Amino acid sequence: MPDAIRHINLSHVVLPIDNPVSDAKVLTGKQKPLSEMVMLFVEVLTEDGFRGMGFSYSKRAGGPAQFRHLKEIAEVAIGQDPSDIAKIYDTLLWAGASVGRSGVATQAIAALDVALWDLKARRAGLPLAKLLGAHRDSCRVYNTSGGFLQASVDEIKDKSTASLEAGIGAIKIKVGQPDWRLDLKRVAAIREHLGDVPLMVDANQQWDRARAKRMCRELEQFDLVWIEEPLDAWDAVGHAQLSTTFDTPIATGEMLTSVSEHMALVNAGYQGIVQPDAPRIGGITPFLRFATLANHAGLALAPHFAMEIHLHLAAAYPTEPWVEHFEWLSPLFEEQPEIRDGRMWVPDRPGLGFSLTPKMRQLTRESASVGRP
């Protein structure tokens, strides 16, 4: 008899950020500073006693909606064979079809999808990267959390130095301020401080096409690894045009919430770096679908956030990727990724290789249980 999903536990977790951060969306008045992460954790138990853990997240809004949507539809997964992840995914999509196949709907499903992949790898006794078929045991890693716009140049210099001393190999800073001259001054100062250390910048969608062209031209002098989200995330044509105009690569994709939204970039002729986010695109299942298509199109990969998941997915990508380091979620996991020599190393523990802390339980605002414990 095949195994079957017996129990699913959902946890709505609110994790404060000790020092709230601001990117360009805050300075242009579109959003408030980010002061907390809202997480949806899913824990799965099967009849044969196998377990898996997954998560998705939201920033500023949407966390309670993710929790409630999955709470409403999760029952359709009970009794299904946990190995049939794609089938379960489709079942969940149809259960909530009236609210669509992107956005909150698939971000809610993502947490369960990740848990099932974690379970499958744990049952095989393999790290997820090995289950998928790893191309490498480590990935290049860069830090973003120290480069937000509320920080002074001196603060960013100090945080960058600390990151490099901790073994991280590259630094990303935020740009996109209302006064573009300040952006150039900050980038110049950090480039001088870092020397030839790889440096990226992120405009968080705050330029129109004309300003983006001017800024990309000005930024060419700094030998950047990439310029991230210079345009609105859904401007596939604009990003494609920039990617074929400038020597500095263009990166985008983190805000997109379905495979079809990502494929709009490919279909527009985009030749930059893609940044799918497994919790946002809908889970590991759709992430892998897009990754296959992205590789076929010859695109480089740099998944956004969620390093605990993306380390494995990046390790399984055919060409050399980047993984983004954020320490924000560290209080929620007992284990921390190994970082040295500018790279993040795939753990040898089964599954994702991470387990939840008592702190995660303390920060749980609401939980729900489906099936038999």
Which are the catalytic amino acids? 174, 304
Cα distances (Å, whole numbers) of residue 8 to 52, 71, 202: 10, 9, 37
Strand partners, 46: 5
Structure tokens given for 134:
């790893």
Q: What is the SS3 assignment for 8?
A: strand
CA distance 85 to 208: 40
Calculate the dihedral angle through the C-alpha atoms of 279, 283, 286, 288, rounding to the nearest 10 degrees. 90
- The annotation status of 327 as a binding-site residue, yes or no, is no
Who contacts 43 (Cβ-Cβ below 8 Å, separation ≥6)?
8, 9, 11, 51, 52, 53, 115, 356
Q: Are 349 and 127 in contact (CB under 8 A)?
A: yes
Structure tokens given for 204:
């968080």
Helix, strand and coil percent figures for the chain, each rounded to 5? 40, 25, 35
